[in-house]
Amino acid sequence: MTDQTNPKKNTTNHREGLIMSTTTASKLRTALTAIAASVAMVAGMAACGPNAATPSEAAASGDTTATSAAKARSLDEIKQSGELRVAVFSDKAPFGYVDKDGNYAGYDVVFADRLAKDLGVKALYTSVDPAARVDVLTSNKVDVTLANFTVTEERAAKVDFSKPYMKVSLGIVSPEDAPINDVKELEGKKLIVAKGTTAETYFEENYPQIELLKFDQYADAYNALLDGRGAAMSTDNTEVLAWAKANPGYVVNVTELGDVDVIAAAVQKGNTELLDYIDGQIVTLGKEDFFHKDFEETLAPVYGDEVDPDDIVVEGGVVDSQ
Amino acid sequence: MQGAEILLELGVFPRLLQGLWVTVWIAAVSVGLSIPVGLVAGWLMTVRNPVVRAVMRVYLDFIRIMPQLALLFIAYYGLARAWNWNVDATGACVLVFVLWGGAELGDLVRGALLSIPQVQAETAYMLGMTSWQSFSRVILPQTLRRLLPASVNLATRIVKTTSLAVLLGVVEVIKVGQQIIDANRFQYPTGTLWVYGVIFLMYFIVCWPLSLAARALEKRWAND
């Protein structure tokens, strides 16, 4: 009897040993990732603003491709629980923020509410920081991330992106009395940018002849523009549009510059069931112009009427290339 | 005073107080649970059994060496990924702070226990007390006295460290502050400092009484 049980015991012990070593490794990696992510996040906070392309995010959560034991919930499980868990920003107006009454609101939140409503469940919001958006999915803290999440190759290796529902490119804001209507007009003048943004990289690569005046923080960059230290300032079009609206005397005459990045919903890698559902929803909602209504409701008050919704909104998951 | 009007906006104060409640709740539960954990851990650290001592040593050193932030990320993301233990963010915070508070308090308890001269236990034994009686009537009261000031200090450290919870997505007082700052970004661009100033005062109001109590107790027991 004992002879029969002993080898069995050995194999299980051996297997347990293996599991232990992989988990300790992943634990250690999580810890290291955590530290890296937190450093990146602190850097991100310094450069605050609803910019989707701050370096904090790009650098965030380095290697998280490790297989996770926390598998995403199925559609049935979500329906049964009565709640769709959504990760959104809570301090990035007008995309995801908490309004004066303490309720979640914004462009992403309107979409999330609709997704939940059509599933017959309630949306349960979790506040995320840019750097945590991948991790909350891989560790199954939420079902879907809807946090102004720009699609990049690096991220697509870790999570699955749906069809896009928004797009972002660069914009240039300039004084009304000396407007910059075309990027070529900037030659020989100073352009203000924030360090580490897509704008900085774009102008360095494509327009090396334009002199850049770089600042660490958005606030400093905008103040430099107000002081007239540069002819114009460039960053994500959504950001400059919102700023120009709040600062009379400044206009955004270049709204679509550089590569168009798309923003999409993200689910855990391999969660095709939920992904297919979201993709289907985006297409269906496109027929009723849902995202244009969403724009009118959440973004228009911030960007003003002069902004063409088609510069920002993607309807039915189809980006028309320009 | 530029930007100070942000504090008068409707709902700003109630929401900050709500956030403060989350902060205080996490801190209070953590400190509350740390006390029994710490007392037991401290007692185990003085046990003669070498295995128990070694285990306690590893526990204390592990918790001390690891930054609390790393522990938080392991508890929140790591456990889920490794074993599918999905602790919610608040739960992960309490778990880490109890493990941390328990270890630190345990070390304080150990030091306090060992600082009572052995001769007292022996004297109690000579007077006919059982070992439990000598522990509970002679050793423990003196231990607690030596322990209190340092453990109150530990409690204030736990209160302040709860601010790390924001990185797990817990909407506590700091996060509420950031939400308010962002929601009013265009209306009150200079409101940031004021909101953080209020948060500073809130932490102060929570921690100061603890510091006062620690000082008062230290003074009172100095002459004993």
Beta bridge partners of A173: A233, A252
Residues of A in contact with B18 (CB under 8 A): 102
Beta bridge partners of A212: A191
Q: Inspect the interface and report whether the beta carbons of A31 and B18 lie closer than 8 Å.
A: no
Residues of A in contact with B80 (CB under 8 A): 68-70, 139-141
Give the closest of B10, B72, B189 to A100, CB-based: B10
Q: Inspect the interface and report whether the beta carbons of A140 and B183 lie closer than 8 Å.
A: no
Q: Is A258 left (phi over 0), alpha (psi -120 to 50) or beta?
A: left
Pick from B10, B179, B192 the residue to mutate for testing the A interface (most A CBs within 10 Å). Answer: B179
pLDDT the model gives residue B150: 85
pLDDT the model gives residue A275: 93
Give the ipTM of the model, two decimals please: 0.71
Distance CA A122, CA B64 (A): 42
Residue A113 has pLDDT above 50, yes or no: yes
pLDDT the model gives residue A30: 53
Distance CA B69, CA B163 (A): 10
Give the closest of A69, A101, A129 to B167, CB-based: A129
Domains and CATH numbers, chain B: 4-222 (1.10.3720.10)
Mark out chain A residues that contact chain B at CB-CB < 8 A: 23, 26-27, 30-31, 33-35, 37-38, 41, 48, 66, 68-71, 87, 90-93, 97-102, 126-129, 132, 135-136, 138-141, 219, 242-243, 245-246, 302
Instruction: For residue A13, count CB atoms less than 10 angstroms from its CB and return exposed for 0-12, middle for 13-18, buried for 19 or more.
Output: exposed
- Quickly state the pLDDT bin for A18 (edges 50, 70, 90): very low
User: A96: closest CA among A124, A119, A128?
Assistant: A128
Residue A309 has pLDDT above 80, yes or no: yes
Question: Can you tell me the mean pLDDT for A72-85?
Answer: 90
Is the minimum CB–CB distance between B110 and chain A shorter than 8 Å?
no
Beta bridge partners of A262: A167
The DSSP symbol for B9 reads S
CA nearest to B86 within chain A: A141
Domains and CATH numbers, chain A: 44-160+265-303 (3.40.190.10), 169-259 (3.40.190.10)
pLDDT the model gives residue B19: 87
CA nearest to B6 within chain A: A100
Which of A18-32, A58-72, A284-298 has the weakest average pLDDT? Answer: A18-32
Question: Can you tell me the mean pLDDT for A81-94?
Answer: 88
